[in-house]
Each structure stands twice: as C-alpha cells, then as structure tokens.
Amino acid sequence: MDWSIARELAQVARKDGQKFDCATWLDSARELPKKYFNAEVSKHLTGKGTEAWEILCFKVNKSQLSVIEQALETAGLVLGSDTSRGYHSEMTCADFLERVGWEIGTWTFSCLY
C-alpha cells in the first residue's frame, strides 16, 4: 500500500473516530483501483458523490488562446473563483447555445448576436 492510500485511510479514521471500520476500508483499498478508492473516500468525507469526468485535449491556434483565456477568466469572475475551469467552459458553451437558439436536438438559427 502506498502513502497516498494510507493518507486517505487516516482521513477516514480521523472522521470516524471509534466507528472506523478498518478491515472494510483496507479491503476496499486493496481491491479498488486507486482513483475509485479516492472517490469512495471523498464521498465518505463530504457526503457527496463525485460525477464521472473526462479530460478534453484539443489544439488551438496561438491567436485563439487569448480569447479563450479571457472567456474563462470572465466566467470565473461571474461564476466564482471556487468553481472549476471545466464548469466555466460548460457555462460559456451553454451561453453560446442559448444565444444561437439551441433547442434539444435541433438548431433553430434564431441567433441573438
């Protein structure tokens, strides 16, 4: 078991105190892949589940980068700096779709720009 798993177990033990079920957590640590175990610990500590995620990679031209960075920074100011850049991207895209008149499954081309 590596140190990161031990650290996660220590957080659970601190939270649970006398109720800490060491055997169950150790079994989970051994059986689950690391990212799933970390998700279980996070869910236990916060009481919230984590949503599945993907990493998006795409190439942009240098001339496009400043516009994208400015949009994400502005979204951060509006939405709050405690939210992720992924959320900022989602809201920027949602705003675009709303402005061009996106309806579920069809484009209406009622552009408001």
- Tell me, yes or no, whether 57 lies in a domain: no
Q: What is the token pair recorded at 65?
A: 């980068």
- Residue 99: enclosing H or E segment and its boundaries? helix 85-99
- Tell me, yes or no, whether 32 lies in a domain: yes
42: containing domain: 3-46
Scanning the structure block, which residue is given the tokens 């949602």? 94
Q: What is the pLDDT of residues 70-105, one digit of tens each?
A: 999 999 899 887 778 888 999 998 888 888 776 655
- For residues 18 and 42, state if they share a domain: yes
Counting Cα atoms < 13 Å in the Cβ hemisphere of 46 gives 10
- For residues 29 and 66, state if they share a domain: no
* CA dihedral (99, 101, 107, 108) positive or negative: negative
Q: What is the pLDDT of residues 60-76, one digit of tens each?
A: 999 999 999 999 999 98
Beta strands 106-107 and 102-103, pairing class: antiparallel
Average pLDDT over residues 31-35: 86
Q: How many separate domains does the chain show?
A: 2
- For residues 66 and 100, state if they share a domain: yes
- For residues 41 and 77, state if they share a domain: no
- Tell me, yes or no, whether 27 lies in a domain: yes
